[in-house]
Amino acid sequence: MTATVAAPPVVNRPSPVRQSLLLSRRAIFAVLRQPQVLVPSIFFPLFFAALNAAAFDRITSQQPAFAAQFDSFLDFLLPATVLQGVLFGSTQAGTEMANDIENGFFDRLLASPVSRTSILVGRLAGGAVLGAAQALFFTGVLVAFGARLHGGIGALLVLVVCSALLGIGIGGFGVMLGIRTGSAEAVQGSFPLIFVLMFTSSAFFPRELMTGWYEVVARYNPISWILEALRDLISIGWSTGDAMVAIAVSAAIAAGSVALSLRALRRRLAAAG
Amino acid sequence: MTAVDARVDLGTVRSGPAAIIREMVARNLRGIRRQPATFVPTLIMPVFFVITFSGAYGFAGRAFGNGNAMSWYAPMAIIQGASFAGMTMGLSTARDFESGFFDRFLLAPMGRLTLLGGALAAALVRALLTTTVVLLVAVVGGVAIPGGALGIATLYLSALGIAVVAALWALGLVYRVQSTNVGPLIQVGIFMAIFLSTAQVPISAMSGWLPGVARINPMTNVLRLARAGFVPDQLNPPAGFGVSWAEMWPGLVALGGTIALLAVFALRGMRRLTP
């Protein structure tokens, strides 16, 4: 009697890139399947754009420093509206990661032959795609209501790239919190920080019109650097320097948050043994 | 053990509505101590609004009547804080529904109106706390109150009124949905009511569609009442500082009318509840 040795089963393991693509598709569908999650990050930026344009257009048009640069308050608000939507929406990546941990899906991913980095890349790539889509949507709506893009298609591209990078950047902070706490509530509790980040920047008013300590805080807020470069691109016209500043600052925020979330993932894996 | 003691043990002795309301307020305040995360943001956000709005919009001071943006924004932030107090009362009731605690309230020997009264009283206590803290921050930040004691009284009156309005709106929705998922709807209603008014700038400074909406929004008159002691009346500029009856009555009517309407909304929602 001869013993037959069974051939090992063929495991069709996708490449890490394919794994990341599959996981990012899952992240995008997870958001699209819950429209109530998207509504606040779409409704509130558009509501505040409409409200602030009607409330402050007359006052700001009487300020020479403002009137010299912007045709209308809506033009001024365009990049802030886009970033507001992206920042508010990006916290969802962290919430979803925490949900995965709470409901055990994260442990099932760890037990499967999925690359650890793909878990993170998939989640953040989903945030980047949603950020870019939000940028196109908000720009379309505001242009339909009279905002103008003096920087043309180049300015729009930079706006989309910055939104995608900030989708990664803010999403990365959320993911880091989600991994560290494993609590969706804790991630959602970080939302006021995003609010503070926006309100202490030049999102809603030009720094030239601010005074005192508020102007100093806004000057050193990195969100102001991105917004001001984007505003120049949108309201004045194409400038390679402004495009580089906006992309570089967004990329730096994204790199920092990816590093932090990677570290949190490594620690969690080490703790799990 | 005597028969009387046994009756007490079974909990058949009914307390008066005032005692029940007092206990509900005390329970809510204990909740703040146990879970400060549910209260602290409602206190910090209005303070943050006073500081940031005044810093960002300070350049437009003249548009606010007295050149001081903080005098314009402090009453608005106080009204917002009071609305948060009412809103969180609704959310805390929603959590009671989810945990099953509210069913025990419904089974207890007390009137439904007492249940609603307890929630409103707790919202009023929370609003008193936030109003006092934000007002102190504003005064320390340099806000003057030329309207004096009457100006402070109208501010507290409007803040407490808005706390009741927000609580009735939130409770009306929570009694129907019985879940914290209704939170975003509560927030959107309150945010829209506040911001589609003179919350940010006077009507004379607005343009486009907003002045038409702000004029018919009852919140505009409530804010006028809240600001009466802080900035000159926007509708009758020659009146200058000081609280006049002309500034007060539209706000009082707006509060009374909104409270009456939302009380009906909340009571109808409550009537659907069965133990």
A9 found inside a domain? no
A62 found inside a domain? yes
- Does the pLDDT at position A197 exceed 90? no
Min Cα separation B18/chain A (Å):
35
> How high does pLDDT run on average in chain B?
84
- Which of the four pLDDT bands, split at 50, 70 and 90, describes residue B240? low
pLDDT at B238: 47
- Which of the four pLDDT bands, split at 50, 70 and 90, describes residue B29? confident
- Which of the four pLDDT bands, split at 50, 70 and 90, describes residue B4? very low
Selected residue with higher pLDDT from B1 and A172: A172
CA dihedral A93, A97, A100, A102 (to 10 degrees): -120
ipTM score of complex: 0.74
Cβ pair A212:B59 closer than 8 A: no
The whole-number average pLDDT for the span B24-34 is 82
CA dihedral B224, B228, B231, B232 (to 10 degrees): 90
Cβ pair A57:B207 closer than 8 A: yes
Lowest mean pLDDT among A39-53, A245-259, B143-157: A39-53
- Does the pLDDT at position B273 exceed 50? yes
Contacts of B210 in chain A (CB under 8 A): 51, 54-55
pLDDT at A3: 57
Cβ pair B55:A52 closer than 8 A: no
For the residues of chain B, what is the DSSP string, one character each? Answer: --HHHHHHHTT-PPPPHHHHHHHHHHHHHHHHHH-GGGTHHHHHHHHHHHHHHHHHHGGGGGGGSSS-HHHHHHHHHHHHHHHHHHHHHHHHHHHHHHHTHHHHHHHSSS-HHHHHHHHHHHHHHHHHHHHHHHHHHHHHTT---TTHHHHHHHHHHHHHHHHHHHHHHHHHHHHHH-SGGGHHHHHHHHHHHHHTTTTSS-GGG--TTHHHHHHH-HHHHHHHHHHTTTS--SSSGGG-SS--HHHHHHHHHHHHHHHHHHHHHHHHHHHT---
- Which of the four pLDDT bands, split at 50, 70 and 90, describes residue A273? low
CB contact, 8 Å: A244 with chain B? no
In this complex, the residue of B52, B188, B192 whose CB is nearest that of residue A199 is: B52
Selected residue with higher pLDDT from A193 and A189: A193
Residue-number span of the structural domain to which A220 is assigned: 16-272
- Which of the four pLDDT bands, split at 50, 70 and 90, describes residue A229? very high
Chain B residue closest to A44 (CA)? B188
CB contact, 8 Å: A191 with chain B? no
Distance CA A167, CA A176 (A): 14
Asked if residues A200 and B52 have their Cβ atoms less than 8 Å apart, the reply is yes
- Which of the four pLDDT bands, split at 50, 70 and 90, describes residue B8? very low
Task: Quickly list H helices, chain A.
Answer: 16-32, 35-61, 64-67, 73-102, 105-111, 116-144, 152-181, 184-188, 191-199, 212-220, 222-235, 240-272
CB contact, 8 Å: A199 with chain B? yes
Tell me the whole-structure pTM to 2 decimals. 0.78
A5 found inside a domain? no
Cβ pair B52:A54 closer than 8 A: no
pLDDT, tens digit (0-9, with 9 covering 90-100), for B81-136: 999 999 988 888 888 888 888 888 787 777 778 888 989 999 999 999 999 999 99
Percent of chain A exceeding pLDDT 90 equals: 32
Cβ pair A36:B52 closer than 8 A: no
Distance CA A105, CA B162 (A): 44
Tally the domains of chain A. Answer: 1
pLDDT, tens digit (0-9, with 9 covering 90-100), for B51-69: 887 777 776 666 666 667 8
Cβ pair A205:B59 closer than 8 A: yes
pLDDT, tens digit (0-9, with 9 covering 90-100), for B170-195: 999 999 988 877 887 888 899 899 99
- The neighbour count for residue B242, using CB atoms within 10 Å, is 15
Chain B residue closest to A38 (CA)? B184
Name which of B47, B64, B76, B207 to mutate to probe chain A: the one with the most chain A Cβ atoms within 10 A of its Cβ: B207
pLDDT at B6: 41
Distance CA A188, CA A213 (A): 29
What are the residue boundaries of the structural domains of chain B, listed by start? 16-271
User: Residue A190 has what DSSP assignment?
Assistant: T
Contacts of A204 in chain B (CB under 8 A): 56
Distance CA A153, CA A234 (A): 10
Lowest mean pLDDT among A89-93, B6-10, B243-247: B6-10
- Does the pLDDT at position A183 exceed 80? no
Cβ pair A55:B206 closer than 8 A: yes
Cβ pair B55:A209 closer than 8 A: no
